[in-house]
Amino acid sequence: MDRRAFVTAAAAGMGAMAVPTGATRMQPAGPALKGRIRHSVCRWCYGGMSLEDLCRNAAAMGIQSVELLTEQEWSVPARFGLTCAVAMGPTSISQGLNRLERHDRIVAESERLLPMVKEAGIPQMIVFSGNRAGQDDAEGLKHCAAGLKRITPLAESLGVTVIMELLNSKVDHGDYQCDRTPWGVALVEEVGSERFKLLYDIYHMQIMEGDVIRTITDHRAHISHFHTGGVPGRREIDQSQELFYPAIMRAIADSGFTGYVAQEFIPSRDPMASLREAISICDV
């Protein structure tokens, strides 16, 4: 199952499943991390192991969060001294906030979820724009803003941040509307709430527009969360791909960012060894 299928299934209330990722053995505890980056990991990339095993391994590596969990899973990370940085929200990648006819359902589900997200100690809930399906970007932005303005007052009162993810429409998510940083930034400014920000996925935005470090620096105020991934192929973030993650992480840390950076690559080798290596690369 790829990420699109995972998010769609989770939005429909199914359990967290993902692509098999091989070895699940426990990794030994490593050296203490520097603390400039708050590390998280996306659960869907490690569907070959139980959530409990992933949390156990993550805790041993110094990772602080396992994210993109459904409400049935939110309590699991806490058993291992972890949090869930991002809860699954009421939309799917293709069926999001850019259509007015979906708003009543999305708002009602947000009103149900957000108090529980707060109670679970989760700082953020993810939403998606949806696919264009012939809609122009200006109209899509207007509709997304209208829906978000119905959600953010509750998010503000609870102290939970709603985040919309920037995804590429070139390779992985054809026709997705929130596919460029300027569009996402314009949406954040139109909504005008401190409780609505962007999830800047480095993998996706490298594919769509590049210029990653300057974009992050210029739009730090609009970003609440980061995802990683090797380009091409969303594999390991090591020297096999075109991005140099130590420099990207230094730019994030130097900007004063205090949120989470989540590993979201699909391992091609031993998954926990690859995850440990990724944390080491990003621990700047």
Per-residue pLDDT reduced to its tens digit, 247-266: 999 999 999 999 999 999 99
User: 27-31, 185-189, 206-210, 247-251: lowest mean pLDDT where?
Assistant: 27-31
| Whether the predicted pLDDT of 17 surpasses 90 | no
User: In total, how many domains does the chain have?
Assistant: 1
The three-state secondary structure class of 183 is helix
Cis peptide leading into residue 271 (ω within 30°): no
Domain that holds residue 43: 3-282
- Alpha-carbon separation of residue 124 from 25, 53, 57, 157 (angstroms): 30, 23, 23, 13
pTM for the predicted model, two decimal places: 0.91
Q: Is the model's pLDDT at 1 over the cut of 70? A: no
pLDDT reading at 8 higher than 90: no
Mean pLDDT (the chain, rounded): 92
**How would you class 32 by CB atoms within 10 Å of its CB: exposed for 0-12, middle for 13-18, buried for 19 or more?**
exposed
Q: Compare 196 and 16 and report the one with higher pLDDT.
A: 196
- Residue 41 — very low, low, confident or very high, per pLDDT cuts 50/70/90? very high
22 Cβ partners below 8 Å, 6+ apart?
48, 267, 269, 270, 271
Q: What is the pLDDT of residues 134-179, one digit of tens each?
A: 999 999 999 999 999 999 999 999 999 999 999 999 999 999 999 9
8 A C-beta contact, residue 199 and residue 227: yes
Q: Are 271 and 263 in contact (CB under 8 A)?
A: no
Q: 7 pLDDT exceeds 90?
A: no
Q: What is the mean pLDDT of residues 43-57?
A: 97
CATH of the domain at 18: 3.20.20.150
Provide mean pLDDT across the span 52-65: 98
Question: Tell me, what's the pLDDT at 32?
Answer: 87
Classify residue 13 as exposed, middle or buried by CB count within 10 Å of its CB (0-12, 13-18, 19+).
Answer: exposed
pLDDT of residue 14: 35
pLDDT of residue 6: 54
Give the tens place of pLDDT for each residue, 71-94. Answer: 999 999 999 999 999 999 999 999
- For the stretch 197-235, pLDDT in tens is 999 999 999 999 999 999 999 999 999 999 999 999 999
Q: Band the pLDDT of 15: cuts 50, 70, 90.
A: very low
Q: Range with the lowest mean pLDDT among 23-37, 118-132, 208-222?
A: 23-37
Q: 100-111 pLDDT, tens per residue?
A: 999 999 999 999
Contact 120, 74 (CB under 8 A): yes
